[in-house]
Structure 1
Amino acid sequence: MFEFLFGFWNYVIVFLVILTVVVFVHEMGHYLVARWNGVKVEVFSVGFGRELFGWNDRSGTRWRVSMLPLGGYVKMFGDADATSTTGEKRELTAEEKAVSFHHKRVGQRAAIVAAGPMANFIFGILVLAIMFLVLGQPRTAPVISEVRPESAAAEAGLLPGDRILAVNRSEVGSFQEIQQIVRLRLGETLTLRIDRDGQIIEIPTQPRMEEVRDALGNLQMAPVLGIMAEAGATEIVRHNPFTATWEATKETAGMISNTFTALGQMIVGTRGTDELGGPLRIAKGAGQAAQLGIGTVVFFTILLSINLGLINLFPIPMLDGGHLLYYGIEALRGRPLSERAQEYGFRIGLFLVFGLMLFATRNDLIDLRVWDLLRGVVS
C-alpha cells in the first residue's frame, strides 16, 4: 500500500503539478497580451471539462479550475470555443468590436497568439537563471581522465590528460558541451582539437551507437566516444543576476537548437522516432525526477515548458503556429483566408495532432513495456 501511494505521488501528482505550471504559464502569456491589447477574456481555465470551482474578476474574466487537469485554455470574446474560432454570426456593436479578438489588427492577433509560447521560453530562462544565481552553474573541465578500452576514443588515440579545446571547430569550455555535440552528430566523423602537454593536435574520431542511460536513468541508443571526465574537475560557477540571465538564455537557446536538430534528423531518417514521447513518458520522467530531488523536478519543468512552447509553434492549424501561419498569409494578402479554407486547415491540423498523439502514445507503451506485460498475461 505504501509503495502504491509513493508511486501515485511521484508519477501522477508530481506530473499533474508540473503540467499545470507550464500550461498556466502558457495561457497567462496569451491572457496578458490580450488584455494589453484591449481584448476581453471571458474564460481562463486550468484543465478541461466541467468546472470544479472558479471566480469572476473585475474585468469579467471567469477564472476556473476544471475537472480534467491535462491542459488549459483562454477563451476570448467572440470565440466559439477554446481554439479561437469565430463564434459570433450576428453583427457586433462598436463597443463589442473594440474588445473582440477577431476585430483586432493582424499584428495584435499575432502577438497575442505568439505570447503563449514566448511565455514558456521566458519562464524557462527566468527559472534557470534563478537556479544559477542561487545554486550556481555546474561546469566540468573538458579534460579526459579515462578512455574506455576498445571505444571510439581509444581507437582514435585519445589519452587521459588530453584537454579538448574544440569539436568540429566549435570551441568547448566544458565536458557538458562535448556531450551535447556528440549526442547530436549521428554517424558523423568529429574532429577534436586537443591540447596534449602544451601541443595542439587534431584527431578525427567517429562516435559509436551504444545503449546508455540518460539523466533520469532511461536506456536509449546514442553516439558515444568512450571518454570520462575527471571526478574532481566539476566546479560550481557563481553568477550575478546579469551573468545568470545570460547563461540561462544561452542554455535555453541551446535546448531549442538541439531539439530542432533532433527533429530534423528524425524527418530525414538518421535518428529514430522512438524518442518521441507523450503524456505517459512525461509522467514517467516526472516521477523519476521527483525521486532525484527538487532540483531535478525544477529542471524537468523548465525542459517541459520549453518543449511546450516549441510544439505550439509548429505551423499546424489548431496550434499557435498554425494561427500564426494564417496571420502571415493574411498580412501578405491584405485579407484573411476564407472561413472554408481555415476550416479545412483546422481539420488537417486536428488529424495531424491526433496522429502524432497516437504515435507518441505507442512509443510510450513500448517504453513502459506494456505490450510485454500484456503478452505475459495472455500467454
Structure 2
Amino acid sequence: MLNFVGQILIYVVPFLLVLTLVVTIHELGHYWVARAFKVKIDRFAIGFGRAVFSRQDRRGVEWRVGWLPLGGYVKFAGDLDASSVPDQAGLAELRGRIEAEQGSAALNDYYHFKPVWQRMLIVAGGPFANFVLAIVVFTAMFSLLGDQIAPPRVAEVPAGTPGAAAGFRANDLIVEVNGRPARSAQDVIRVVSLSSNTPVAFVVERDGQPVELTVVPVRTVTEDAVSGRVAIGKIGLPLVTRRDEVRFIRYNPIEAVGAAARQTASVLETTLTYLGRIFSGRESGALLNGPLGIAKAAGGITAQATEGEAPASLKAANLALMLLQFAAILSIGIGFINLMPIPVLDGGHLVFYAYEAVARKPVAARVQEAGYRVGLALLACLMLFATWNDLQKLNLFKFLGGLVS
C-alpha cells in the first residue's frame, strides 16, 4: 500500500501539476484576449465532470474546477455547439434570440458577432499563451542560472560502431552538427537521435585543425528513467567534456528573453523535423507520447531530482526547476498541436474563420459537422497510437506475457 501511494506521488501528482499549469495558461490565453475585445464569457473551466470548486465573479463568469483534471475550456455566451462556429442559420437563430431578449445593442457582447479577425485572435490566444509560458520559464532560468557551454569531446571510439566507420578518433572535439554549433553533448544527441539511417555531417577539431566527417546513425532500442524504452539513432560514441573547457554565460534580462525565444524555436524545430520524418516514412513515431508517457516522464524527472544525499530544500528547488522546464517543453507541444488544422482544435477553428473571411459567410453546417467528426476520429487515432507507444515503452506487454506464460 505504501509503495502504491509512493508511485502516485512520484508519477501522478507531478504529471497533474504540470498538465494543469499548461492547460490553465492555454485557457487564460483565450480568456484574456476575449476580455480585451469585451466578449461576454459564461464559464472558465479547468478539468471536466462534476465541479469540485465553482464560484461566480462580478462579471458573471463561473470559475470552475472539474474532478477530472485532463483539460479545460472557456465557454462564451451564446455557444451553440462544441465547435463554437455556427453557420448562417445558427447565427440567425442566435441573433433573433438575443435581440428579442436583450436588444440589438447586446450583440456586441457576443463572441459570434465579433469581427472575424477578433475571433481569430481569440482562438490563437491559447496556443500563443503556451509559447509565452515557455519563453517566460526559459527566460527565468537563463536569468537566474545562466547558460552552460560544455564542448563535447569523443571519449573513445568503440570498434564496429557507426562512429568508428565514419573515421572519428578519441579526443575529437565536436564543433558542428549538420551546420549548427555543438555547444554541448545534448546538441549532438538531439540531432543524432532523430536521424536514424540518415547521414549526419560533423565538423570536429583534431590537433587544432577542422575535419569534416559524415556518419549514419543506426536505430537502436534504448531505455532510460524518463523516456522509457524507445528506438532512436545512435553512433556509438561516448562523449565527455573537459572541466577546463566548461564556460558559464550570464545574461541580462533582454539577452535572456532572446535566448529563451531561441530555445523555444529550437524545440519547435525539433518537433517539426520529427513529424516530417514520420510522414516521409523515415521514423515510426515511437517517440510520440500520450498521457501515460508524459506521466512516466514526469515521474522520471521527479525521481532524478530527489535522488541522492542533499538537504530537502535543495531537492525541492531542483525538482521545481526541472518540472518547470518540463512544463515549458510540454507547453510548446500543446501549443503546436492546437494549431494543427483539425476542426476540433484551435487550428481547425482558424481554418473555418479564414474561409469565412474570404467567402464572407460561415462554413456550411454540414461541412462543419463532417469536419468535427473527422477531427474527433483523427484525435482518437492519434491518442490511441500515442497510448500504444506508451504501453510499449513501459514494457507492459512483456510484463503481461510473463504473467500468463
User: Normalising by structure 2, what TM-score?
Assistant: 0.88
* The one of 183, 186, 192 aligned to 1:182: 192
Q: Is 1:315 paired with 2:327?
A: no
Shift of 1:157: 1.9
CA distance in 2, matches of 1:2, 1:352: 40
Given that residues 172 and 204 in structure 2 are in contact (C-alpha distance below 8 angstroms), is that contact kept between their aligned partners in structure 1?
Answer: yes
Q: Is 1:348 paired with 2:374?
A: yes
Other structure's SS at 2:132 match: helix
CA distance in 2, matches of 1:85, 1:204: 51
Task: Name segments (4+ residues, structure 1) moved above 6 Å.
Answer: none
User: Normalising by structure 1, what TM-score?
Assistant: 0.93
Given that residues 121 and 309 in structure 1 are in contact (C-alpha distance below 8 angstroms), is that contact kept between their aligned partners in structure 2?
Answer: yes
Q: Which amino acid aligns with 2:254?
A: F
1:144-155 matched pairs, under 5 angstroms: 144-155=154-165
1:252-267 matched pairs, under 5 angstroms: 252-267=264-279
Structure 2 equivalent of residue 4 of structure 1: 4
Given that residues 83 and 343 in structure 2 are in contact (C-alpha distance below 8 angstroms), is that contact kept between their aligned partners in structure 1?
Answer: no
Q: Is 1:275 paired with 2:290?
A: no
What residue ranges of structure 2 are gaps of 5+ in the alignment? 306-318
Structure 2 equivalent of residue 16 of structure 1: 16
Q: Is 1:238 paired with 2:250?
A: yes
Distance 1:177 1:153, change over 3 A: same
Distance 1:375 1:169, change over 3 A: closer
Distance 1:71 1:303, change over 3 A: same
Given that residues 73 and 82 in structure 1 are in contact (C-alpha distance below 8 angstroms), is that contact kept between their aligned partners in structure 2?
Answer: no
Q: Is 1:140 paired with 2:150?
A: yes
Given that residues 52 and 66 in structure 1 are in contact (C-alpha distance below 8 angstroms), is that contact kept between their aligned partners in structure 2?
Answer: yes
Distance 1:212 1:231, change over 3 A: farther
Structure 1 equivalent of residue 33 of structure 2: 33
Structure 2 equivalent of residue 229 of structure 1: 240
Of 19-28 and 8-17, deviating more is 8-17
Q: Is 1:204 paired with 2:230?
A: no
Other structure's SS at 2:156 match: strand
CA distance in 1, matches of 2:10, 2:221: 26
Structure 1 equivalent of residue 354 of structure 2: 328
Given that residues 75 and 82 in structure 1 are in contact (C-alpha distance below 8 angstroms), is that contact kept between their aligned partners in structure 2?
Answer: no
Given that residues 146 and 229 in structure 1 are in contact (C-alpha distance below 8 angstroms), is that contact kept between their aligned partners in structure 2?
Answer: no
Of 218-227 and 170-179, deviating more is 170-179
Given that residues 139 and 175 in structure 1 are in contact (C-alpha distance below 8 angstroms), is that contact kept between their aligned partners in structure 2?
Answer: no
CA distance in 2, matches of 1:38, 1:81: 21
- The percentage of aligned residue pairs carrying the same residue is 40
CA distance in 2, matches of 1:296, 1:333: 48
Of 342-351 and 229-238, deviating more is 229-238
Given that residues 175 and 204 in structure 2 are in contact (C-alpha distance below 8 angstroms), is that contact kept between their aligned partners in structure 1?
Answer: yes
CA distance in 2, matches of 1:312, 1:222: 26
CA distance in 1, matches of 2:398, 2:234: 29
Give the superposed CA RMSD.
2.0
Q: Which amino acid aligns with 1:362?
A: W
Structure 2 equivalent of residue 169 of structure 1: 179
Higher relative contact order (CA 8 A, sep 6+): 2
Q: Which amino acid aligns with 2:299?
A: G
Structure 1 equivalent of residue 72 of structure 2: 72
What residue ranges of structure 1 are gaps of 5+ in the alignment? none
Shift of 1:235: 3.7
Shift of 1:83: 4.1
CA distance in 1, matches of 2:255, 2:225: 26
Shift of 1:179: 2.1
CA distance in 2, matches of 1:111, 1:226: 47
Other structure's SS at 1:255 match: helix
* The one of 114, 123, 131 aligned to 1:121: 131
1:280-291 matched pairs, under 5 angstroms: 280-291=292-303
Shift of 1:343: 1.3
Q: Which amino acid aligns with 1:59?
A: R
Structure 2 equivalent of residue 363 of structure 1: 389
Distance 1:289 1:82, change over 3 A: farther
CA distance in 1, matches of 2:12, 2:183: 38
Shift of 1:170: 3.3
Given that residues 10 and 302 in structure 2 are in contact (C-alpha distance below 8 angstroms), is that contact kept between their aligned partners in structure 1?
Answer: yes
CA distance in 2, matches of 1:305, 1:339: 32
Of 292-301 and 282-291, deviating more is 292-301
Other structure's SS at 1:236 match: strand
Shift of 1:85: 4.5
CA distance in 1, matches of 2:256, 2:199: 34
